[in-house]
Structure 1
């Protein structure tokens, strides 16, 4: 009986082999016995598996990102492009403007022209797009994934929990006890992990987390200005603020200056990412360096391996973050 729309994983399970083995059959790769190859070919035919349109020549990668408006996005794109060029692949850029990725038109274009895979950056796939990419045998590697619904993806991220903890411990060591935190979009695992690291560091120092000192932000300058202003208008305002992104941290700078507060004399500020902005602002911003370019390069490298039917060492890759201390943090006034 036909099972139209069967996924690559379902074919592999039925044949008792790994997904890369099925992929090798689809791509005509050697190293598989004739009987097993025939069995997999029969399963593909019987279950109506839609084969990806064969592509020849230069590999093609779809790089899907929610927005191109930030330096954070520029760093990621730079890393992906550098790795694609090194591997002799072409990169197609897709910006979703914050919407879930995978419109019917996009799926139709991929199906028509072919693609070797998708690097998905802090966005989410429409359910139909997820099914279609699986049916078309298109691998996906996600950078900074949303939530936990990524079991079918290889994921690349940074050690965000460690970064949140180290930023908080740095401020605690300076003597700060009322430390505010403005997250980025909290649906992203990376921002939840940073917040968890902050909470953990406070707890280890014997300081109870105060919900009044936490705001859920948007990673943008305007968000930092708005939510930073809310924190600084508290009757017992924080003496330090950690931001989920550098650009949002700059918004905190603006909010502080609007209120006549000096950085770091009256308020210490820590960012996340270490984009060029950190060295342009005055005072230069203390931040947690995220290896953004390396993360995108690694995601691109892993995607090309999956597209070639090769296995990857781990479905989850985390690259190390690092606290970079500059001039925006100091001991609080007594």
Structure 2
């Protein structure tokens, strides 16, 4: 039974036979009007030649599907990237299935990759997941196009990935605070094993070094990108006699945790503490006060990842296996020059 499924013609077979993209083949099969008559004719010939239509009712062809996998779906960051993926997929006539990368502690990463290869998807997008070198190698050998978004680590293989200019983001956040007059600045980084987190901290260090600011080792921390972990660290930092006058957070969720710690300690933002978030998701403008943030083009990252899956599925050559989109600083009300009240 399993071998019969493996031999069943796929939409990718039709697209390759007709010399078109999977998205174009899907549009023709689903009766879309934006397909040229000559192209539609080639696709119909390809359907007959490959036997793709055998056993399927006329007009019942399924759209190609990609799988979007993430460890946690609770963050605004993940939701914004998923929004970009789904919007691009709608335009391309591709369906999106969402799941968790590790749905069970009993399944290895390699088993997940093997399942994807047997799934009949045209590709997969995996978001911010910590993987072993063996898993990266399994992805690089995979017959299924797989694109990583903001991978926690890379092993130098040819796995396609999409991210943003994290070093510049960390540096621009810190330069903004230095420009306001802050010299006592801390950063709450993401996980120590995360490439993006380390890049943001390296950008922070670079800006501090360029300004001649010596940052105490315990003003630089690494933790999860979530609210609660950052709240605990911020509470410790803000309880010190030499507490920082400004903090750079490595996600909007972390920044919200810093705001909560400041509230508990009756430290007002930005009067007593300046705060910069990271990502600039919708929660940043909803915060009180609205957060100054490093903006990541999260929806565009999702769109680029979807297009990269399409390119790989069509057998196209990638100009680069790692794409970085530009960050920029968005200034709102959570940052201000330091004052004597910072240590009152």
- Whether the 8 Å contact between 1:102 and 1:125 is mirrored in structure 2 is no
Unaligned runs of 5+ in 1: 1-22, 31-53
Deviates more, 1:318-327 or 1:230-239: 230-239
- RMSD of aligned residue pairs (Cα, Å): 2.6
Query: 2:206 corresponds to which residue?
Result: 200
Distance, in Å, in 2 between the alignment partners of 1:251 and 1:329 is: 16
- Give the superposition deviation at 1:264: 0.3
Structure 1 residues 120 and 225: alpha-carbon distance in aligned structure 2, compared to 1, 3 A threshold: same
Structure 1 residues 244 and 99: alpha-carbon distance in aligned structure 2, compared to 1, 3 A threshold: farther
- Give the superposition deviation at 1:133: 4.9
Query: 2:219 corresponds to which residue?
Result: 213
2:303 counterpart SS class:
helix
Distance, in Å, in 2 between the alignment partners of 1:98 and 1:198 is: 35
Q: Does 1:306 align with 2:322?
A: no
Query: 1:44 corresponds to which residue?
Result: none
Q: Does 1:161 align with 2:167?
A: yes
- Whether the 8 Å contact between 1:186 and 1:192 is mirrored in structure 2 is yes
Structure 1 residues 232 and 88: alpha-carbon distance in aligned structure 2, compared to 1, 3 A threshold: same
2:228 counterpart SS class:
helix
Distance, in Å, in 2 between the alignment partners of 1:282 and 1:178 is: 23
Distance, in Å, in 2 between the alignment partners of 1:98 and 1:322 is: 35
Query: 1:89 corresponds to which residue?
Result: 94
Deviates more, 1:297-306 or 1:143-152: 143-152
Unaligned runs of 5+ in 2: 1-11, 20-51, 54-60
- Whether the 8 Å contact between 1:62 and 1:94 is mirrored in structure 2 is yes
- Give the superposition deviation at 1:88: 0.7
- Whether the 8 Å contact between 1:84 and 1:91 is mirrored in structure 2 is yes
Query: 1:240 corresponds to which residue?
Result: 246
Q: Does 1:329 align with 2:340?
A: no
TM-score (norm 2): 0.77
- Whether the 8 Å contact between 1:269 and 1:285 is mirrored in structure 2 is yes
- Give the superposition deviation at 1:250: 0.8
Structure 1 residues 234 and 98: alpha-carbon distance in aligned structure 2, compared to 1, 3 A threshold: farther
- Give the superposition deviation at 1:215: 1.5
TM-score (norm 1): 0.79
1:61-85 deviation line (CA, Å, top 9, x unaligned):
1111121011111101101111111
2:198 counterpart SS class:
helix
- Whether the 8 Å contact between 2:110 and 2:138 is mirrored in structure 1 is no
Extract structure 1 runs of 4+ deviating beyond 6 A: 98-101
Query: 1:270 corresponds to which residue?
Result: 276
